[in-house]
Amino acid sequence: MSTRIKIFISYLVMGILPLFLFLGTISFVAFKTIADNPFLMTIGEDPDNIYISVNHLSKIEILAQENPTGLFDRDMLMDIDQVVSQYHIGIMLLDSEKALFYTSDILLERGLVQKIISPQNENFNMENHFDSEHFFPPNYHRLVVDDNFLVMERPLEEGNGTLYIAIETGPSQKVSGTPFKRFMSVLFIGVTGLILLMTFMVTRSMMQSLKELKKGVHRISEGDLDFSIKTNKRDEVAQVVMAFDEMRLRLKASIDAQVREDESRRELVTNISHDLKTPVTAIKGYVEGLIDGTANTPEKKQKYTQTILSKTIALDRMIDDLFLYSSLDVGKAGYHFENVTAVDFFKILCNETRLDLKEKGFEVQCSIDLPPDIMVRLDRSMIQRLQYNLTENAVKYARESDRKVVFSARIQDGFVICSTEDNGAGITEDALASIFERFYRADAARTSTVGGTGLGLQISRKIVEDHGGRIWAESHYGEFTRILWTLPVIFLENGGNA
């Protein structure tokens, strides 16, 4: 369940539910009071009953005020009593000597007469029990003599006697007493507990997730990324926690990759230093030979000088490879792209390859199978450098005899696919997938003996990728190695797509 829904339900419970409970309680008390109150039930049967009862009670009150002695008419009291008794109202009248002059049958049946005239009521403080909210005038006082009756006492003027009016209310008088207060207390505690429970349920899941998040932030601040944050919740806060854990994984992967790259760079510096030191050491040795007279014949001097030149060229090539690799790695190689006709460009490239390898004893075969209208977008110098790297790689691991290189170019699925194949030593299957990886060397010791920095294939991959293609290798160890790479076709001269 989402946090939004939980909060909505919580507010619903905290706001609307107590209101409904309160209204329900009030309604229950009201209906319970009416249902248990004989007087209200009688009045409710016919709205006119209230006017009838009030009219007769008013008649008694008028006599009590204007002619108190007129109340002592038994026939009149019987007539009034006959009417009001139907509404569970009783009348009792005491004379000036506190002798019982008249009482309703309902009061006799309920045993209320003795309770009213009991001696304990003689010293009753009437003023302290005046019912100011009752519809009777202020000269009526309430007597608490029976839980089922509302008893009102009316002293007559000039000590002529005392009038009592009793209304049967039934056990509903107890509703507002201790049981009702207990019920309201239980209701209040229940509603408060329900609100606290809903608040706890809403905040618990969020707080658990936030605590886990806090622990994670603390551990990351200390440099610890080897942990995981688990949560079985599905709310918005849990989603933040899971996103944080995903960020941790990505950060860890990034740092691990950076560590590996730093280690690879250190290894590269070590290898480059070793590779550069080899020709420098050779140059130093031959120069010292020239200086100290070891080369004491024209032939030796020519040999030493030629060796120094070749080592210097190799050293320059290494420095050039390192500079180009660094430029490509940081995206500052400075490409100069142009649209060229594929068949013409690759024929020229193949002829250049043939001329370069002919002096080294290689047979170069070219297979260019491209339509004349195919166009590609490339940097001529970079593609030439790519091809030079591939052929140099073939030279390094060539056979002692029967040296051969096959260059081909064909079109497939909107790409020009080029390949350079040699019949040299080949590459083992476990090393084949890694030869284009950054700083990878299949045989570092052998690379040192054959010369070069070992960056040729990495530079080649970067050049191909920057042209929108891909590069891969196929080989059979001891038989051949084939390097394939692609260039996307941009358009046909007649407007069609390749």
pLDDT at 66: 83
Bigger pLDDT: 134 or 34? 34
Bigger pLDDT: 52 or 123? 52
**Encoding tokens for residue 207?**
């707080």
Which DSSP string corresponds to 57-126? HHHHHHHHHH-GGGG--HHHHHHHHHHHGGGTEEEEEEETT--EEEE-HHHHHTTHHHHHS-GGGTT--S
Q: What is the pLDDT confidence band of residue 127, given thresholds at 50, 70 and 90?
A: very low
Mean pLDDT, the chain, integer? 79
- In this structure, the number of other CB atoms found within 10 A of the CB of residue 190 comes to 12
Residue 92: burial class (beta carbons within 10 Å; 0-12, 13-18, 19+): buried
Check if the beta carbon of residue 134 is closer than 8 Å to that of residue 140: yes
- Indicate whether 494 pLDDT > 60: no
> Of 297, 290, 482, nearest to 405 (Cα)?
482
Q: What is the mean pLDDT of residues 112-140?
A: 61
SS3 per-residue string spanning 87-99: HCEEEEEEECCCC
pLDDT at 124: 47
**Model confidence pLDDT, tens digit, residues 338-391:** 999 999 999 999 999 999 898 888 999 999 999 998 999 999 999 999 999 999
The pairing of strands 363-369 and 404-412 is: parallel
| Cα–Cα dist 255/226, whole Å | 12
At 168, give phi and psi (nearest 5°): -75, 115
pLDDT at 134: 47
Q: What is the mean pLDDT of residues 149-159?
A: 85
**Buried b or exposed e, range 373-386, using 16+ CB within 10 angstroms:** ebbbebbeebbbbb
| Cα–Cα dist 495/47, whole Å | 99
Most confident of 103-112, 276-285, 377-386: 377-386
Bigger pLDDT: 405 or 33? 405
SS3 per-residue string spanning 236-281: HHHHHHHHHHHHHHHHHHHHHHHHHHHHHHHHHHHHHHHHHHHHHH
pLDDT at 10: 66
Which DSSP string corresponds to 473-485? EEEETTTEEEEEE
- Indicate whether 97 pLDDT > 80: yes
Most confident of 212-216, 249-253, 292-296, 374-378: 374-378
**Model confidence pLDDT, tens digit, residues 220-244:** 888 787 877 777 666 677 778 788 8
Q: What is the mean pLDDT of residues 452-467?
A: 84
- Indicate whether 171 pLDDT > 80: no
Q: What is the pLDDT confidence band of residue 35, given thresholds at 50, 70 and 90?
A: low
Q: What is the pLDDT confidence band of residue 46, given thresholds at 50, 70 and 90?
A: low
Decide: helix, strand or coil at residue 418: strand
**Buried b or exposed e, range 456-486, using 16+ CB within 10 angstroms:** bbbbbbbbbeebebebbbebeeeebbbbbbb
| Cα–Cα dist 337/466, whole Å | 11
Bigger pLDDT: 230 or 488? 488
Percent of the chain exceeding pLDDT 90 equals 19
pLDDT at 322: 81
The pairing of strands 141-143 and 149-155 is: antiparallel
pLDDT at 36: 59
Check if the beta carbon of residue 489 is closer than 8 Å to that of residue 416: yes
pLDDT at 409: 95
- Indicate whether 442 pLDDT > 60: no
| Cα–Cα dist 342/388, whole Å | 18
The pairing of strands 415-422 and 338-341 is: unpaired
- Indicate whether 264 pLDDT > 80: no
Check if the beta carbon of residue 434 is closer than 8 Å to that of residue 371: no
Most confident of 66-75, 190-199, 262-271: 66-75
| Cα–Cα dist 262/256, whole Å | 10
User: pTM of this prediction?
Assistant: 0.50
Outline where 359-428 has alpha helix (H). 380-396
Low-confidence winner among 142-156, 175-189, 250-264 (lowest mean pLDDT) = 175-189
Q: What is the mean pLDDT of residues 167-171?
A: 78
pLDDT at 123: 47
For residue 156, give the DSSP letter: P
Q: What is the mean pLDDT of residues 270-292?
A: 83
pLDDT at 379: 94
Q: Which residues contact 3 (CB under 8 A, 6 or more apart)?
A: 202, 205, 206, 235, 236, 237
H or E stretch including 205? helix 178-221
- Indicate whether 193 pLDDT > 50: yes
What is the set of domains in the chain, with CATH numbers?
38-168 (3.30.450), 225-332 (1.10.287.130), 338-492 (3.30.565.10)
pLDDT at 482: 93
